[in-house]
Amino acid sequence: MFLKSNNAIVIGCLLVCATNVNAEEQNKIKNISVERNLNGFENLNETLSLWEVGVGGGAIDVPNYPASSQRNTITAAAPYVVYRGDIFRVGDGNGVRAVVVDKNNLEAGLSFGGAFSADSENGTVREGMPELDFLLEIGPQAIYKLKDYKFKNGGNARLNARLQVRAAFSTDFSTIDDQGFVLNPVITYQQRGRLFEGTALSTSIGMVFATERFQDYFYEVSDEFATDTRPAYNAKSGYLGTRLRLSVSFPISDSIRGFAGIGAQIHSGAANENSPLYEKDITYSASLGFVWRLYKSESKAHW
């Protein structure tokens, strides 16, 4: 999803309960889950804390929406919470999810996501059209561990296959509208400690397919918004694009980590490339930020 927002500080809180786990149990459960974090503060063989809190901030530069030529820089700072429960999990770079199956090679459950709104500014192809509201997404996901790697000189890595199906809803916080469904198969590769101790590399490639209602949200032009330079267009379901992502996280201190990332979104061959709202075959994104961990629990996660 592509985001747009004014500079904002988002404040939130979460109450969690911690459960103590003895050392023998920790050894049995360590590194079992396919979502074992490879990008955090802990050493490679250290059991993760059940929960942690801190503050993070950064900036991201993205297109207005898929295949848009208009760009926006979003900056934000906010408290963060990571909770690694047996079922409910928050953070660790994977958003919010509820896990109902967690085996050696398979995790299945619910995933949640969203995107900020985008204005229909003057001088753009969407001038005079309704603004794009905030998008909220929820749906099932399955994550399958394809392979783990351990390097002779230190470090490890993981190759995962992920499949997400989400229902999308737009809202201006007075009403909520159904915006169809998105299908997103992704291959991810995470590597930590291979080149530099404590430094992590993550890369992914994924394809996005969407129902007609979701495609309408970005590419439909109804008769009332048609102009001489923007003809009416009936969007259709199908392929939306392919996303490539490369990111790196690195230690700044014992309690602060920095991160940077770049991405490319390839829309050539998309179902709605003939829409007058479709502008570019390839768009790019970039991000830079930090996470400052202020406190972590003594209790450890079971997975």
Domain membership of residue 193 as a residue range: 8-296
Sign of the alpha-carbon torsion through 77, 16, 21, 149: negative
Give the separation between CA 120 and CA 258, rounded to whole angstroms: 33
Number of structural domains (the chain) is 1
Does residue 303 lie within any of the structural domains?
Answer: no
Does residue 301 lie within any of the structural domains?
Answer: no
Does residue 2 lie within any of the structural domains?
Answer: no
Give the separation between CA 221 and CA 216, rounded to whole angstroms: 8
Give the separation between CA 99 and CA 86, rounded to whole angstroms: 7
User: Which whole-number Å values give the CA distances from 298 to 20, 21, 37, 89, 127, in the listed order?
Assistant: 8, 10, 17, 17, 53
Does residue 87 lie within any of the structural domains?
Answer: yes
- pTM for this model (two decimals): 0.81
Does residue 256 lie within any of the structural domains?
Answer: yes
Does residue 1 lie within any of the structural domains?
Answer: no
Nearest to 219 by CA among 237, 201, 207: 237
Does residue 130 lie within any of the structural domains?
Answer: yes
**Cβ–Cβ < 8 Å for 51, 67:** no
CATH of the domain at 48: 2.40.230
Per-residue pLDDT for the chain (303 aa), expressed as one digit of tens each? 444 333 332 323 332 333 333 434 444 434 445 555 655 666 656 677 888 899 999 999 989 899 999 988 889 898 988 888 777 777 665 566 666 666 678 888 777 777 777 777 888 899 999 998 988 989 998 989 899 888 888 788 899 999 999 999 999 889 999 999 999 999 999 988 877 778 889 999 999 999 999 999 999 999 999 999 999 999 999 999 999 999 999 999 989 999 999 999 999 999 999 999 999 999 999 999 999 999 989 888 876
Does residue 138 lie within any of the structural domains?
Answer: yes
